[in-house]
Amino acid sequence: MNDIDRRSFLKISGAALGVGVLYSAVPAVAASAEGRQVLSFLGKQNGEVVTPFSFVQLSDAHVGFNGPPDPLGTRAFERAVEMINALPQRPDLVLFTGDLTHDTEEKDVHALRMKQFLEISKRINVPLIKCVPGEHDAGLDKGSMYHDFFGESYYSFDHRGVHFIALDNVSRAKPEIGPEQLAWLKKDLSRFATTAPIVVFTHRPLFDLKPEWEWFTSDGDEVMNALAPYQNVTVLYGHIHRDDEHELGHVHHYAARSLIFAFPDPEKVADKKPLPFDKDAPFKNLGIRLVHENFTGKQVTNSVDIQDVELTAREFSGINGIQQLLRNPKL
């Protein structure tokens, strides 16, 4: 029982909704007697048994941004709210991974943008919404206004046997966590067994995805070193305005697309320029990815069917089947 494969008891799985990502935390082994024994063991080790639930990741709404390359302002954000509320099974929570607003040196204007973000997000029919800041929320004033509207910029909480950790890698006006927050993180982690399922959510990637485009965190290696002893870690982030998936070591890193405009694939272009807006397809590059889980309880190499559907201005009449989805990270 000490030699537990991390994939054998918890699946953090995602379906990209274009305007966000629907995740589910599922103890996949619960289908077998042996699996239930594993879950019982982990419940005793970690203090709470993992039970299935789903949650949504949204990112980069940039409330207050209006103009090229996207003149629609908050429309994609509002569409995301509609889509979440139309899901046949209500998610337990929404995680928002930064850049809730678009920055401005006019403090009164920025305050109005934060109020507008709160007004729109409160329409989401979920019990819990948790946020971290992006550089557009906190970079100019070291997070002072963000704290007034949203509270702490880094914190942790537990939900159905999963430990969630919110990290702030923007408020120091550079892509950095900083020594104080690192010390807090290590203390927070020390309470848990290494088998505990952990979800970290932050704004910038914690690894060097594209440093010349500022897609990195300078002390991200120190964060990952602190997380290294833990066998079941998932990192969710935003900032890059595109869907991305990496497995580094035994940690899965996922980025959600933005709610305003998309950036291109950095492996295919040299310049960091937003993809152009298409008035005939306003949600182009914000497509929906449906991931259908075919898990049978047996160890398999790939157990998913993936179908990409471009999000259009039409109502979401044909996508009511989104539910828990198993997504195997690329090896």
Whether the CB-CB separation of 200 and 154 falls below 8 Å is answered with: no
pLDDT at res. 7: 44
pLDDT at res. 306: 31
CA 294/CA 297 separation, integer angstroms:
9
Write down the H helix ranges in the chain.
Answer: 33-46, 75-86, 107-121, 135-138, 144-150, 179-189, 220-227
Does 291 score more than 80 pLDDT? no
Give the distance between the most distant pair of CA atoms in the chain.
60
Does 287 score more than 70 pLDDT? no
Give the bridge partners for 11, in sequence order.
26
CA 265/CA 232 separation, integer angstroms:
28
Q: Residue 232: pLDDT band by 50, 70, 90 thresholds?
A: confident
Q: Which has the higher per-residue pLDDT, 184 or 21?
A: 184
Give the bridge partners for 96, in sequence order.
58, 131
Stretch 197-217: mean pLDDT: 95
Q: Report the range of poorest mean pLDDT among 57-71, 83-97, 143-157.
A: 83-97
Does 121 score more than 70 pLDDT? yes
Q: Which has the higher per-residue pLDDT, 80 or 112?
A: 112
Does 88 score more than 50 pLDDT? yes
Residue with tokens 């995680």: 95
Question: What percent of the chain lies above the pLDDT cut of 90?
Answer: 44
CA 279/CA 264 separation, integer angstroms:
18
Phi/psi at 44 (5° precision) = -70, -40
Q: Which has the higher per-residue pLDDT, 330 or 27?
A: 27
Does 68 score more than 80 pLDDT? yes
Q: Which has the higher per-residue pLDDT, 140 or 293?
A: 140
Residue 265 CB-half CA count within 13 A: 5
Does 212 score more than 90 pLDDT? yes
Residue 234 DSSP SS3: strand
CA 200/CA 202 separation, integer angstroms:
7
pLDDT at res. 12: 65
CA 289/CA 133 separation, integer angstroms:
26
Cis peptide before 69 (omega within 30 of 0): yes
CA 143/CA 20 separation, integer angstroms:
24
How far apart, in Å, are the Cα atoms of 68 and each of 52, 61, 99, 230, 284? 41, 15, 18, 43, 15
For helices 107-121 and 75-86, the axis angle rounded to 10 degrees is 20
pLDDT in tens, 237-273: 999 998 888 888 888 888 888 888 889 999 999 999 9
In one letter, which amino acid is 175?
P
Q: Which of 182, 180, 178, 175 is nearest to 227 (CA)?
A: 182
Q: Report the range of poorest mean pLDDT among 103-107, 131-135, 222-226, 275-279.
A: 275-279
pLDDT in tens, 155-181: 999 998 889 999 999 999 999 999 999
Q: What angle do CA 73, 239, 139 make, to 5 degrees?
A: 85
Domains of the chain as residue ranges with CATH: 6-309 (3.60.21.10)
Q: What is the mean pLDDT of the chain?
A: 79
Q: Residue 329: pLDDT band by 50, 70, 90 thresholds?
A: very low
| Alpha-carbon torsion (26, 28, 33, 37), positive or negative | negative
Judged by phi (left if over 0) then psi (alpha if -120 to 50, else beta), residue 128 lies in beta
Residue with tokens 């929320």: 137
